[in-house]
Amino acid sequence: LLTSDRLMVRLIAAYGFVSFGNGSVFAAVVLFLTSSTERHGLGMSEAETGIAFTILGITGFVCQVSFYNWSVRDFGLRFVLRVGISIMILSSVFMPISEMLLKTASPEFRAHNEWLKWCLIAPGIGLQGAGIMFCLPVLTTVLSNAARPDIQGLTQGTAQSISSLLRGLGPITMGSAFTLTYHIHAPAISFALLGIAYSVTLM
């Protein structure tokens, strides 16, 4: 029933890719933040990593309660979905670039000016918080609206099953990619994979 509807197949596939991306992003961020600067990470402590995730959570919460409803009402689901996915792609590019920009400063300057690290990383983390809150809720609504009433349960069940599987594969893929490429440039490669996963959703 579902495979005969090309639109539904595309929506379920998009739902799966977004779920994979959302499952991967937290692993990628943690590995990036806590990796040493010699391995192209930011070398953050446990407390700093906690602060970074607090920023991510607050940004996502603010976007959800302040911008989600009116943006969907004024611009439509499809536009908001594309914006959310574009934000996730942008954040995947910005995160490794922030480390490269940080490296342009001397070690002495970085050691005495902690604010520089936060100025560079906060926009990327904030974008991820916003993107996560825009992507999956909108896609869930689009999928529900597109499904025929008589197969609504089948559609949602199939989408959730695929979503759960790919969301679980996200951390496995990210962890493996990071492990295999840590001696090259693990953050850039890992976030590139993440960006590709979100980019496929736009096709």
Percentage of the chain exceeding pLDDT 90: 25
Task: Reply yes or no on whether the pLDDT at 47 is more than 90.
Answer: yes
Residue range 7-18, pLDDT digits in tens: 778 888 888 888
Task: Reply yes or no on whether the pLDDT at 186 is more than 80.
Answer: no
pLDDT for res 149:
79
For the residues 25-49, what does the mean pLDDT come to? 89
pLDDT for res 105:
86
Q: What is the pTM of this model?
A: 0.85
Task: Reply yes or no on whether the pLDDT at 199 is more than 60.
Answer: yes
For the residues 14-30, what does the mean pLDDT come to? 89
Residue range 82-123, pLDDT digits in tens: 888 999 999 999 988 988 888 888 888 888 888 888 999 999
Cα 43 to the center of its chain, rounded Å: 21
Residue range 151-173, pLDDT digits in tens: 778 888 888 898 899 999 999 99
Question: How far is it, in rounded angstroms, from Cα 73 to Cα 126?
Answer: 23
Query: How sure is the predictor about 40, in pLDDT bands with cuts at 50, 70 and 90?
Result: confident
pLDDT for res 90:
92
Task: Reply yes or no on whether the pLDDT at 130 is more than 70.
Answer: yes
Question: How far is it, in rounded angstroms, from Cα 95 to Cα 189?
Answer: 11
pLDDT for res 51:
94
Task: Reply yes or no on whether the pLDDT at 52 is more than 90.
Answer: yes
